[in-house]
Amino acid sequence: MIGPGEPNALNSGLGIAADQIAKYLATRTELTLIQPYNGDQDCPDSGVSIRVKNADLSKFDELNLMSELTKVNVRAGITPYFYPYLEIQNEEEYTLEEENDVAKKELQSFTSQVLSASQGIEFDVIYAHDWTAIPAGMKLKEKTKKPLVVHMHSLDYDRNSQLNQSWIHGIEQASFKESDAIISVSDYTADVITHNYGDVKTSKVHTVYNGNEALTIPKVKKVFKEKLILFVGRLTGQKGPNVFLDIAEKVLQKYPNVRFVLAGQGHLMSGLILAVASKKMGSKFHFTGHIDREKLAELYSIADVYCMPSVSEPFGLAALEAAQAGVPVVLSRQSGAAEVLPGALCSDHWDVDGFARHILAILKNKKTQKKVVDSNKVALKELTWDNTAKKILEVLNNIK
Amino acid sequence: MDICFVFNFHCHKYLNQYSFFDIGKNRQYFDSKLSDTTNLKNLTDYQLPLLEAIEHLTTKTNLKCSLFFSGVFLEVLSQHHPEMTRRIGKLVDSGKIELLGGTYYNSLACLYSHDAFKLDIKKHAKALKSIFNYKANCFTNSENIYSNDIGRQIKSAGFKSTIAPAVEWYLGSNNCHQIFQSDGARKLSLLLADCSISKFLFDSSRSSTFFMDDSLKNKLVVVQADPLHLPKNMPWNKILSGIKTRKNQLLSIEEAVKIHQTKTTYHIPHPLALNCSGLDLSYFIENPIQKDIFDKLKSLKNELPSKIDSKLQADQLALSDSRNFLNLSTKAISKETTKPHDHYLNMMNMLTDIEIRVS
């Protein structure tokens, strides 16, 4: 398995998903996980193979699950959500081309390190997560003739609304052609793959929904008398924080006793702050910046509505976390989470009025609120990482 | 030429990083460690040497000057150099220096609340009274902000004169080097600070030429400066000999008001500012994030207790220190490491906390 690295702020939902899948697969297969490590994260240094099964595991209950997992961390400065035109605004000394060149070199370096790290390892299937792992997966397939399965958690199409068919799109498209199977995190993503990446055979695209690991939600005393509407995600065009502002404006007109919290960081932050201030909504808006899981759980515990107006959201793990925490959710129809949370109130991402209507319905009507929460909780029982990994294993086992 | 030297001493209370998660948790708004370190360094490097020079020169020479000490500056000075506070008291008693009234926190309260402005002035007056047993007759507002209405408030607070910004399009054909009457309050004299002069008067290579300027003959020149922006080695010898040789005289503000009587009015319908560094109001409340913070302060004005010693009042007045608004400016003049947008988020979270404390 070629992964995105240990879960961290840079690989967000993808990091969590790959980590959970690896834990399960390690109990059913002999799994070697090769992943990037940029040196800042809290994980072992590069090039070191840690054979956990040889370590003293007696003190750790959960490590029996990982007894067949070998992790190889290779130093690489590549991140799954790299987009040069988004970073360039803060780094004026680099041009767009220079930023692209740096990323391409990092990807090349990661790819060749994966190839050398895989020498001497026996395996039956190559399993690669998202575009940063794809070139290495394709090279390995070419070299070993082993089947390749690509797991798409997020696409260039989702992240990149400004550039049409970037070089990253090209990498993804090539893999869809060459791979033996494609796992998509939702039907929405499967649809994007088959409609926007050339001639992709629908028979090799398999939807496997993400699981959900329940966060421990603390009991926090809410200091605000107003209702809280929560947005969680990178502050980039894909996640629709600007749409959230428009929704907020509509909600405030009808229901002033409310506050909005944007949890996340991204290149749109300054512009959003300026927009909020210009609309004189600053006293109703709170930007938290990037927060850890503990703080996120705190937010879920005090939120009255979770709103995800993403323009294109392959899945949306945060929506599941919010639903798990008992927060009623209002979601973009252009999301995977909307497919698995039957109670969610949904609108198309451009339908600001629709989102505002749903939020107001939840705020004003306790029955609606309860209905949304209860039906989502029932559905969430099926959405476990174990179930997700079982389905992935089925795909891996069925490759011809 | 008659010259009034005015030096403004202020210390800033630096803000803590204050996140959404700090709201309602009774966390301090001000970073006492950073404030102590920075203010003590400024005090040692710039403000104390100037005070020592003033002490020496007013005793040994004919130097006269007017000093404004913000309340926060007096707190810092009393804490770290109580001896200097006592020595200033002696100079005040001997009449060698004049103290000016103003705002305790150097706040922009005059722009959003009559009551908050009044409290800030009262607190400052109380500090002058308790430390120096002194009642100021002359006023200098934060960043020299002035309008007819603000003039009325200054007058009703018991002041006879105030420093105002010299703005060409309101001066018309009048020269700024004279005293005006306020158009908002009868018998409130206005002295207009000429921020362009201090730049070369206190520059050792250019200070002598200032006194050769015949266009200023028989005029009143108000030279206002912030010690933090003055050179460490002030050309006092050149300045004092320049004053002597050209038969110029140094006056306190109070003396200048008595000598330069006038009936010319200065009509300022809307608040204007031009501080001693040449910054106008656009540096403080022009952009949307400054205006949003300002509106938030405005919205809180009626909810705050009117007691002068209320901790809530003190916090909101200290937050409205003009320096905090300058740190929200995107005109890139601040030396602060915190970016304007981060500063905005901090301040808005603090004001939300105040809102919760009030309710």
Asked which of A335-339, B13-17, B185-189 is least confident by mean pLDDT, the reply is B185-189
Residue found by looking up tokens 């109130």 in the block: A345
* pLDDT, mean of residues A249-273: 95
Provide the 10 A C-beta neighbour count for residue B332: 6
B292: distance to nearest CA of chain A, Å?
5
Nearest by CB to A282, which of B296, B355, B359? B296
Taking all residues of chain A, what is their mean pLDDT, rounded to a whole number?
A: 86
User: Per the CB < 8 Å rule, is A288 touching B19?
Assistant: yes
Give chain B positions within 8 Å (CB) of A280: 291-292, 295
Q: Does A381 touch chain B (CB under 8 A)?
A: no
Asked whether the beta carbons of B249 and B217 are under 8 A apart, the reply is no
Give chain B positions within 8 Å (CB) of A283: 292, 295-296, 299, 348, 351-352, 355
The pLDDT > 70 percentage for chain B reads: 96
C-alpha dihedral sign at A107, A113, A116, A117:
negative
A170: distance to nearest CA of chain B, Å?
37
Both tokens of residue A338? Answer: 């909307």
Strands A305-308 and A329-332: parallel
Q: Does A277 touch chain B (CB under 8 A)?
A: yes
What CA–CA distances, in Å, run from A379 to A188, A283, A319, B42, B117? 18, 37, 13, 63, 58
Asked which of A38-47, A102-111, A354-363, B99-108 is least confident by mean pLDDT, the reply is A38-47
Q: Does A367 touch chain B (CB under 8 A)?
A: no
The residue among A220, A259, A268, A283 with the most chain B CBs within 10 A of its CB, best to mutate, is A283
Asked whether the beta carbons of A319 and A342 are under 8 A apart, the reply is no
pLDDT at site A48? 35
Give chain B positions within 8 Å (CB) of A282: 289, 292-293, 295-296, 344, 348
> If pLDDT is split at 50, 70 and 90, which confidence band does A40 have?
low
The answer, yes or no, to whether residue B240 has pLDDT greater than 70, is yes
> If pLDDT is split at 50, 70 and 90, which confidence band does A277 have?
very high
Q: Is pLDDT larger for residue B72 or for residue B248? A: B72
pLDDT at site A86? 45
For A235, the 3-state DSSP assignment is: coil
For A194, the 3-state DSSP assignment is: helix
Asked whether the beta carbons of B192 and B180 are under 8 A apart, the reply is yes
**Residue A305 CB contacts under 8 Å (≥ 6 apart), including other chains:** A227, A228, A229, A230, A327, A328, A329, A330, A359, A362, A363
> If pLDDT is split at 50, 70 and 90, which confidence band does A282 have?
very high
Give chain B positions within 8 Å (CB) of A274: 288-289, 341
Q: Is pLDDT larger for residue B239 or for residue A387? A: A387
**Partner A, chain B 25-54, Cβ-Cβ below 8 Å:** 25
